[in-house]
Amino acid sequence: MILSYGSNSALAKDCSRLDTQTALDICAGENFKQADAELNAAYAILLSRISLKGREKLQEAQRSWIKYKDAQCAFDTMGTIGGSIHSMIAAQCLTDLTEQQTKRLQRQLACQEGDVSCGGQ
C-alpha cells in the first residue's frame, strides 16, 4: 500500500505533473522546507508573545513534537523503505505533520483573552 500525503500550504508547489522520481523527490523536499520555514516563523512569533512560563512549556512541547513527527513518519513510511519513492513519501509525511503543527501554533496566536484552550498567554 502506498501512502499519499497532500500539502495544504498555499505556497506549496504542485508536484503532481512531474514525470521523474528525481523531480518528485526534489519537489517534495522543497515543499517540506517551505512548510518547516512557515512553522519556524509561527513558532518564533508565538514564543515572543507569551509569558515566560508559557515559553518554557512551548519549547518543551515543540521538542516533544519534533520527536513525535520524526517517529511517526518513520513508522508511516516503513512500507517504502528501499524503494525509489521513499524519500518523496517521507518528505510528504513530514510536510503534512509540519503543516498541522503550524496550524496549531497559528491558532495559539489568534487566541482571545479568556480562551482557556490557549496556553502560555
Global pTM value: 0.85
Provide mean pLDDT across the span 98-119. Answer: 88
Give the separation between CA 51 and CA 17, rounded to whole angstroms. Answer: 46
* Domains located in the chain, CATH noted: 24-105 (1.20.1270.180)
4-39 tens-digit pLDDT: 444 445 567 888 888 899 999 999 999 999 999 999
pLDDT for residue 30: 96
Specify burial of residue 65 (Cβ count, 10 A radius: 0-12, 13-18, 19+).
middle
Q: What is the pLDDT of residue 7?
A: 47
Written as nine digits, the cell of 67 is 520527536
Cell of 48: 515572543
Amino acid, res. 79: G
Q: What is the mean pLDDT of residues 90-117?
A: 92
pLDDT tens digit string along 77-101? Answer: 999 999 999 999 999 999 999 999 9
Question: Which of 7-21, 49-63, 107-121 shows the lowest mean pLDDT across its residues?
Answer: 7-21
